[in-house]
Amino acid sequence: MKLVIKLFLFCLIVSSCNTPRTTFDYDAQTSFEEYKTYQLFPDFKTDMSQLDEKRIINSIDHFTRQGGLALAEENPDLYINVYTEKFQEQSNNTLGVGVGSGGGNVGVGVSGGIPLGGPKDYVRFIIDFIDVEKDALVWKAEVEVKFNYNANPDQRQALFDKVFAKALAAYPPKK
C-alpha cells in the first residue's frame, strides 16, 4: 500500500512539472462553425527570435489544421496573432536559518530565508483570433510556460507544440 501511495505522489509531482497554465475567452455571440480559413495577422511579430517565430508558425499551422482551419492564400475568415511576454519569477525554495534563546517567560529569536536557485524564466503566449470581416477579436487564449533559453531546437519545437496543443484544444469553444 505504501508503494502505491509513493508511486501516486511521484506521478503527481512529475505530471505537474512545467505544465502550461492556460486561460481562454471568446465572444459568446460568435458562430465559430463559420470560420474555415485563416492567415497570420499582417503585422505578425512575436518578440521571439526569427527561428523561434518559424517554430511557432509551424505549431500554429499543425494545430489549426487539426482544429478544422485551413491556411488561406487570400480572403481568410480569421487572422491569428501571437504576442509574447517574457518575465521571471523568483524561486519559492528557501533554506531557513534561525538562532534563538530564551529563559523564564522570555524568548528571543532571529531567522531568515536564503533563496535556493535563481529566478525562473517564463513566457506568456497570447493568441488572438480576429474576425477579418468584423475586425473584432472573437477568441483568445493565454498560455504561460517555463522557458529554457538554452534548449536545443528540438526541445524548443516540442515546447511550442505543447503550448499550442494546449491552447488550440479549446478551439472552437464548446458553448
DSSP result, 81-95: EEEEEEEEE--S-EE
157 phi and psi, to 5 degrees?
-60, -40
Q: pLDDT tens digits, the chain, 175 residues: what are they?
A: 565 555 444 444 444 455 678 899 999 999 999 999 999 999 888 889 999 999 999 999 999 998 889 999 899 999 999 999 988 877 666 667 777 777 777 777 777 776 666 778 899 999 999 999 999 999 999 999 999 989 999 999 999 999 999 999 888 888 6
Cis before 172 (ω within 30): yes
E-strand stretches of the chain = 21-26, 37-40, 70-71, 78-89, 94-103, 106-115, 120-131, 136-146
- CATH code, 161: 3.30.160.670
In a domain, 175, yes or no: no
Query: What total of structural domains would you count in the chain?
Result: 1
In a domain, 40, yes or no: yes
In a domain, 29, yes or no: no
In a domain, 104, yes or no: no
Q: Report pLDDT for 39.
A: 96
Q: Which residues pair with 12 in a beta bridge?
A: none
What domain range includes position 134? Answer: 36-89+115-169
